[in-house]
Structure 1
């Protein structure tokens, strides 16, 4: 097989390094090696409370265990899943985390699963229910910072409340319509 000498020569040139002498290191401060950040070890059989943040019935069908299914009937329902099952959920049905369909209040678990980025500025179920009771400026700030998945869940929930006239502040309704794209007609 013919060898392309141009590529071989270029590769050799880029690999050459300067030898370090005692004179070079004498005037330099020593470098400190940083230890890699290690995940906290959590047993896979740890039971984790998972709250339905979706405004309605939420069903999880396991791809790990045949016939295993969890049904959260209403928003705010809590069920317990093993950490190993949550790992399977993350690998096979990532939308549960990306769209904030379930809430997990344990930061160590979120870090272990590698999904904490989806929960930055996410609200708990109780905080979602109290959102409209906050002063307008605080409510609007929390909504603006909310993750995209949680915003779409909130959009569904608040559209129902606006249609049912459970929200009566015109200022709040106008803000929610513009910020979340709620259509009530």
Structure 2
């Protein structure tokens, strides 16, 4: 490697000096500079590889924290605490009401279907994890993607349906009936699949 090539290699790694000044140095000096820079670069790479990624810190969940909870049923949803008398009403699908974490714990022990079917969705990852719902939530179709489900092919839907929880299946059943009645759902293969997987009668609703 000649002097010009050495200078080019050095400057590609780090601008330690101007090209003109480097060209004035002896060949052996340039080789020493390049070797030193390459060693330094290797050490930086090793440190990056060796340093483990820091896990994101979980938020500390307090019992009096208010959490957004979204209605996952197709209509009115009412929760009345058997322990405290606390009452909350969601008027329709997608509505959001705020509940304290303490009440969600009461709900989990006394009326678990709200969380396990689920009839409502907790819009807070840390609180959902605190209540042991993370794995369940991985199977739920997000509120803003529910209508997109009916745009899937039968093969795509077949991969999803067995994994979703009971409450979401109930919601899909009701939305499918509505879709047939208003004409927005007319994919015969998907309709037959929904009949089979959800155990509902849809074909007879078609004209």
Q: TM-score, normalised by structure 1?
A: 0.70
Say which one has the larger Rg. 2
Question: Which position in structure 2 is the counterpart of 1:45?
Answer: 64
- Scaled by the length of structure 2, the TM-score of the pair is 0.63
1:105 equivalenced with 2:123 (yes/no): yes
* Distance in 2 of aligned mates of 1:167 and 1:115: 31
Deviation at 1:139, TM superposition (A): 3.1
Task: Tell me if structure 1 keeps the 8 A contact 2:71–2:94.
Answer: yes
Q: Structure 1: state its 5+ residue gaps.
A: 1-38
The higher relative CO (CA closer than 8 Å, separation ≥ 6) is in 1
Q: Give secondary structure in 2 for the equivalent of 1:161.
A: helix
Calculate the aligned-residue CA RMSD, in Å. Answer: 2.1
Runs of 4+ in 1 over 4 A off after TM superposition: none
Q: How many residues align?
A: 146
Aligned pairs for 1:19-168 within 5 A: 41-66=60-85, 68-168=86-186
**5+ residue gaps in structure 2?**
1-57
Query: 2:150 is paired with a residue of what secondary structure?
Result: helix
**Structure 1 or 2: more helix by fraction:** 2
1:143-178 CA-to-partner distances (Å, cap 9, x unmatched) read 232123321222222223223433111111111111
